[in-house]
A and B are shown apart, each in its own frame.
Chain A
């Protein structure tokens, strides 16, 4: 209860921004932009959730996180290509099945790459922030080159499943169908994460570890194993975010992860480092403002998210829903 009293202004921020945008545009535009913002927010959440947990639990700043987004995006391109007949069928079940295969394959590929990355590199730089920055920035460059070598330098087309193309009309506004899928998946992952964190023993250990790693070890738990699990889960989520983004854009380039990294870091900082709930609130906020500003003042679009971050931090220096430490 006390938490709710502290947290409601932060939770109300995204809805408040949406309400503020309503008077300055017509209703159909507002609906379309809000739907677009919510979908973008959910995809950002998928990409950012792992990053915030990895930082919260292990104090690791992983600037290579975007590489796992890129990997997921390319796996999506390959899977959707291989399942072209499902993607091209005018049949919702097959379309969703193709997307589900892409999501699972990308999660597996990104999670496996995450495991190799943690065991091979991150493990050696626990506790050393400067080395983490250098080695993960380097890792990002190497990963991008590996992906270019595997998939080629040309942008790759990604098939969007037939029944998820186009829009439906809601109160005179055109809302892209695919955005609903993105919102649904984002909410599903958020709910699953909350359940895992709040209702399972592993989740209890993660929450405790985010607060005080050393004490978790003093209670007899080998936190290194937990680290590995969270790192793998976090990179798998980034891969899923990459799939959703690639299918949305219908095109993948090797720069997609690096491009998203800036937004993803803004989301994580706005939400409060380590906070999954804050990450969700921050992602929705960034998604909505990006879309509203993109419509109202396209020239400001680039700087608007940085301005948003500065404003949020001026109001709440540790982010929207910071962890108590």
Chain B
């Protein structure tokens, strides 16, 4: 692929304890695009994201970010390169207020009013929840806080794991709109998503994982047009999530 690749994994293996989970993952995330990581449950998507963040250590292979190797570095150091991570569990600090959650994400300079306004433009409901404990929010609002933490500061890459998991369809619509707004700002995003409607609406590029490997890469448009390919790659797992 071309040299506009921001994040590249080559032959990445990850062990969790004595289990061998990733078996040589190859993946390229291109600058300014949204790469959708698909695959059935247990394929290794979350493990791949966590390995990029340094939460699991790659036992072999290379991970390059902006042309420099990052495998083996500690999670905080990786984050400081400008990578935001929104985990599957959202990782909200429930005892802290929404504002405090955002403040922690904003780094030492504190909350910049302009960027905070940018967050409210995407998630208006958070403006009135700012001083509420994040634990008291609904699931959808928590996910909005989790995504807001990723965008309240300038980042080079946003990694999002299954943002629609467990959320109502109305909220999913709002999240799609939010990510479309981010895409218009040419934010680079790596997203795992099981909801094919969301995946199709947002994905530029696509990578499909199975059994700890990437088994297909291409554009979302090509995959969306090719029913046979969809069935072969995603099979039942996709249909069951439509």
Chain A residues positioned under 8 Å from B105 (CB to CB): 219
Count B interface residues, CB 8 Å: 24
Distance from B151 Cβ to chain A, minimum over Cβ atoms (Å): 13
Query: Do residues B76 and A323 form an inter-chain contact, with CB atoms below 8 A?
Result: no
Chain A residues positioned under 8 Å from B76 (CB to CB): 217-223
Residue of B nearest to A225 (CB): B76
Query: Do residues B95 and A215 form an inter-chain contact, with CB atoms below 8 A?
Result: no
A-B contact pairs, 16 of them (CB 8 A): A3-B133, A204-B103, A207-B95, A211-B94, A217-B75, A217-B79, A218-B53, A218-B55, A218-B79, A218-B87, A219-B104, A219-B105, A220-B107, A221-B76, A221-B104, A324-B95
A-B pairs with lowest CB-CB distance, top 9: A215-B91, A220-B79, A217-B75, A220-B80, A218-B85, A222-B76, A208-B93, A211-B93, A217-B76
Chain B residues positioned under 8 Å from A214 (CB to CB): 55, 75, 91
Give the distance in Å from the alpha carbon of A215 to the alpha carbon of B150 in the complex.
12
A window 208-245: CB within 8 A of B: 208, 211-212, 214-223
> A204 and B55 in contact (CB under 8 A), knowing A212-B91, A219-B105, A223-B76?
no
Give the distance in Å from the alpha carbon of A205 to the alpha carbon of B93 in the complex.
10
Answer yes or no: A2 CB below 8 A from chain B CBs.
Answer: yes
Chain A residues positioned under 8 Å from B55 (CB to CB): 214, 217-218
> A215 and B93 in contact (CB under 8 A), knowing A204-B104, A220-B107?
yes
Query: Do residues A215 and B96 form an inter-chain contact, with CB atoms below 8 A?
Result: no
Give the distance in Å from the alpha carbon of A212 to the alpha carbon of B89 in the complex.
11
Answer yes or no: B100 CB below 8 A from chain A CBs.
Answer: yes
Answer yes or no: B136 CB below 8 A from chain A CBs.
Answer: yes
Give the distance in Å from the alpha carbon of A208 to the alpha carbon of B104 in the complex.
9
Query: Do residues A216 and B104 form an inter-chain contact, with CB atoms below 8 A?
Result: yes
Query: Do residues B96 and A204 form an inter-chain contact, with CB atoms below 8 A?
Result: yes
User: Of B53, B85, B95, B136, which is within 8 A of A211 by CB?
Assistant: B95
Query: Do residues A323 and B95 form an inter-chain contact, with CB atoms below 8 A?
Result: yes
> A219 and B135 in contact (CB under 8 A), knowing A207-B95, A208-B93, A214-B55?
no
Distance from A70 Cβ to chain B, minimum over Cβ atoms (Å): 34
A window 18-32: CB within 8 A of B: none
Distance from B105 Cβ to chain A, minimum over Cβ atoms (Å): 5
Give the distance in Å from the alpha carbon of A223 to the alpha carbon of B104 in the complex.
13
Distance from A60 Cβ to chain B, minimum over Cβ atoms (Å): 19
- Among A204, A205, A217, max chain B CB count under 10 A is at A217
